[in-house]
Structure 1
Amino acid sequence: MAVPKRKTSKAKKRSRRNHKGLKVPPIVFDKASGEFKLSHHITPNGQYKDRKITKDEDSN
């Protein structure tokens, strides 16, 4: 059975586990709608990079 020869330091242990932390979602402020949104996603009103992406439902 493998037994460690030395005690694992706090820095070594934490650097091994540093990917387990919580990540902050990439939220940006949209100037056109005045709301916060996820970056690289369309806004609730259907715009992406100042262009209308989705069709209006009443234009059918």
Structure 2
Amino acid sequence: MATPARRQSKSRKRKRRATQKLMLPAIHWDNQLQEYVLSHHVSLSGYYHGKQVIHKSLK
């Protein structure tokens, strides 16, 4: 079985592990809708940056 010839330093080990992290979704609180909305996305109500961009037709 292969074994490492030298011990890896703490900084080298930490550099390798620095990329293994959990990413949180980019969300923000929308005061007009009073709910959290994904950033750079149209909300389920059809609003984007406080303006209604998708109009839902009534049936």
- Give the partner amino acid of 2:22: L
**Greater mean alpha carbon deviation, residues 6-15 or residues 42-51:** 6-15
Percent of aligned positions that are identical: 33
- Taking structure 2 as the reference length, the TM-score comes to 0.76
What do you get for the CA RMSD once the two structures are aligned?
A: 1.9
2:10 matched residue in structure 1:
10
Q: Which ranges of structure 2 fall in alignment gaps of 5 or more residues?
A: none
Please list the CA deviations of residues 1-56 of structure 1 after superposition, one character each: whole Å capped at 9, or x if unmatched.
Answer: xx855311232112123112111111110011000111111112100011111122
Q: How many residues align?
A: 57
When you count helix as a share of all residues, which structure comes out higher? Answer: 1
- Taking structure 1 as the reference length, the TM-score comes to 0.75
